[in-house]
Amino acid sequence: MSSFDVVIIGSGPGGYVAAIRCAQLGMKTAIIEKYSTLGGTCLNVGCIPSKALLASSHHYEELQHFADHGIEVSGEVKVNLQKMIDRKQAVVDQTSGGVKFLMDKNNITVFNGVGSFESANLIAVTKADGSVEKIEAKNTIIATGSKPSSLPFISIDKERIITSTEALKLPEVPKHLIIIGGGVIGLELGQVYLRLGAQVSVVEFMDRIIPGMDGALSKELTKVLKKQGMKFYTSHKVKEVTRNGNAVVVKADNAKGEEIVLDGDYALVAVGRRPYTDGLNAEKAGVKLTDRGQVEVNDHLQTSASNIYAIGDVVRGAMLAHKAEEEGVLVAEYLAGQKPHIDYNLIPGVVYTWPEVSAVGKTEEQLKAEGRNYKVGNFPFKALGRARASADTDGFIKILADATTDEVLGIHMIGARAADLIAEAVTAMEFRASAEDISRMSHAHPTFAEAIKEAALDATGKRALHV
């Protein structure tokens, strides 16, 4: 029987990054993955394929505005959805192959099969052909991720009533795509099909889309997506989803109890994700789960079994690839006797619609609830030369800073390239910058990043220069 210093169950961004860091730190490392490709949800059916389709559909959308730039396209412009999906798959395959390369390069043993605990130190790997191989693990990291969740009365048939996984490979552009859930995944995939010509309706239980983010971002994103043609039914509780042949009907009640009926041909259920521990036999190793099905962990991400750790979507906190990665590195370094630390307040959140949305730190709603004395700086993209040059004038940057110390408490953005711009905000907050610190740093002109400086100027005595 082979034995390892550390065995990682699950090869998503949490698991494979943990494996690399463990190997770098000199541990004999193995990783178990039940699917034939490495990379987990993120690489196979999450971050990467969704961004590939967003990029392709964005090109198509931009083409409609070429004439504004003096570019005349003659002849019919058509979408070949299958080719778009094939390209997405090629990106996924290449990225997943890259993870396999990294495993080999770092001498990490890869087991293909389902990993199940026999005890706290023994793991059985059940392979596709039914054979079982047992491996010994001094330490184990559970990185089994998550799966799409649904509502109890919805039966997902994976054809017309679908999850994000099927939405990444639809055989046709829907005529009317009804999205249940106005969170990140629903909106990103909704925008893909909206751009390709579908009518898209979003039904959201809460009173606003992207409910976890700052209210100003929800408001602006709603406005922009409405302008692009997306329809919203917020404060609506879905009560029935039925399929009849190629037709799908979604019924929901508004806050007053009045019913709406939406007729479509596809319904995407995007109501969140649930932690995945099926087949793991966690109890055999003495690993406790919470009431919500997450693996219970302490501040060191250690489970109720002292040699077993858990990271990523299967534990508490934001379900994000980069959060899983940070946790993978933390556990590896902790096992190596180091003293790593994660500041969860500084894990940024991003929505990859266009305009993009991103945020780090506290929202205005959170600061109000905490009773914190804060001030606000704003800067609209439409006042930015770079944004006008690119015709990307939607959105703004909002900086929240402590009213007394000027320390930046949160940065919230919606606009072109916000997904990349948020890195400046994270860096600033990691070093506990004040709004004035940011406002006094030179930002190249003309760039979208100038909006961060201007919002910081606005936060410190209303000194913004270009409004």
Ligand X SMILES: Cc1cc2nc3c(=O)[nH]c(=O)nc-3n(C[C@H](O)[C@H](O)[C@H](O)COP(=O)(O)OP(=O)(O)OC[C@H]3O[C@@H](n4cnc5c(N)ncnc54)[C@H](O)[C@@H]3O)c2cc1C
Cα torsion 166, 169, 175, 179 to 10°: value is 40
**Interacting residue with ligand X among 320, 384, 418, 425 (CB under 6 A):** 320
Residue closest to 216 by CA, chosen among 5, 376, 391: 376
Residues 380-409 that bind ligand X (CB under 6 A): none
CA 85, 264, 166, 208 dihedral sign is: positive
Phi–psi pair at 244, nearest 5 degrees: -135, 100
Task: Considering only the stretches 316-324, 366-374, 384-392, 435-443, report the one whose residues sit in contact with ligand X under the rule CB under 6 A.
Answer: 316-324
Task: Considering only the stretches 204-212, 255-263, 319-327, 376-384, report the one whose residues sit in contact with ligand X under the rule CB under 6 A.
Answer: 319-327
CA 408, 411, 416, 419 dihedral sign is: positive
Residues 111-130 that bind ligand X (CB under 6 A): 114-115
The answer on whether 185 is annotated among ligand-binding residues is: yes
Cα–Cα distance for residue pair 250/267, rounded to 1 Å: 8
Task: Considering only the stretches 100-108, 275-283, 298-306, 332-340, report the one whose residues sit in contact with ligand X under the rule CB under 6 A.
Answer: 275-283
CB nearer to ligand X: pick between 9 and 271: 9
CB nearer to ligand X: pick between 182 and 312: 312
Cα–Cα distance for residue pair 436/2, rounded to 1 Å: 57
CB nearer to ligand X: pick between 123 and 367: 123
**Residue 8 is encoded by which pair of tokens?**
């990682």
Residue 294 found at the interface with ligand X (CB under 6 A): no
CB nearer to ligand X: pick between 143 and 267: 143
**Interacting residue with ligand X among 205, 232, 276, 334 (CB under 6 A):** 276
Residues 327-356 that bind ligand X (CB under 6 A): 352
Residue 47 found at the interface with ligand X (CB under 6 A): yes
The answer on whether 385 is annotated among ligand-binding residues is: no
**Residue 17 is encoded by which pair of tokens?**
């990054």
**Collapsed DSSP state (helix, strand, coil) of residue 50:** helix
Q: Cβ 48 to ligand X, closest distance in Å?
A: 8
E strand or H helix that includes residue 201: strand 199-203
**Interacting residue with ligand X among 11, 218, 353, 439 (CB under 6 A):** 11
Task: Considering only the stretches 36-44, 133-141, 429-437, 443-451, report the one whose residues sit in contact with ligand X under the rule CB under 6 A.
Answer: 36-44
CB nearer to ligand X: pick between 6 and 464: 6
Q: Is 445 a catalytic residue?
A: yes
**Interacting residue with ligand X among 46, 174, 348, 395 (CB under 6 A):** 46
The answer on whether 328 is annotated among ligand-binding residues is: no
Residue 186 found at the interface with ligand X (CB under 6 A): no
CB nearer to ligand X: pick between 209 and 320: 320
Cα–Cα distance for residue pair 102/369, rounded to 1 Å: 45
Q: Map tokens 């379900």 to a residue.
A: 319
Residues 437-466 that bind ligand X (CB under 6 A): none
240 to 236, 237, 268, 337: CA distances (angstroms): 12, 9, 13, 53
Q: Cβ 199 to ligand X, closest distance in Å?
A: 21
The answer on whether 175 is annotated among ligand-binding residues is: no
Residue 322 found at the interface with ligand X (CB under 6 A): yes
Residue 185 found at the interface with ligand X (CB under 6 A): yes
CB nearer to ligand X: pick between 204 and 458: 204
Beta strands in 208-320 (DSSP E): 231-233, 237-244, 247-253, 259-264, 266-269, 273-275, 308-310
Binders of ligand X: how many residues, by CB under 6 A? 36
**Interacting residue with ligand X among 319, 400, 408, 425 (CB under 6 A):** 319
- For residue 426, the Cα-to-chain-centroid distance in whole angstroms is 17
E strand or H helix that includes residue 330: helix 321-335
Cα–Cα distance for residue pair 349/214, rounded to 1 Å: 11
The answer on whether 319 is annotated among ligand-binding residues is: yes
E strand or H helix that includes residue 132: strand 132-142
Residue 285 found at the interface with ligand X (CB under 6 A): no
The answer on whether 14 is annotated among ligand-binding residues is: no
Cα–Cα distance for residue pair 365/176, rounded to 1 Å: 34
Beta bridge partners of 8: 31, 141
Residue closest to 422 by CA, chosen among 377, 379, 361: 361
Residues forming the annotated binding site for NAD(+)? 181-188, 204, 272
Instruction: Provide the binding-site residues for ligand X, judged by CB under 6 A.
Output: 9-15, 32-35, 40-42, 46-47, 50, 114-115, 143-146, 164, 185, 276, 279-280, 312-313, 319-322, 324, 352
* Catalytic residue ranges: 445
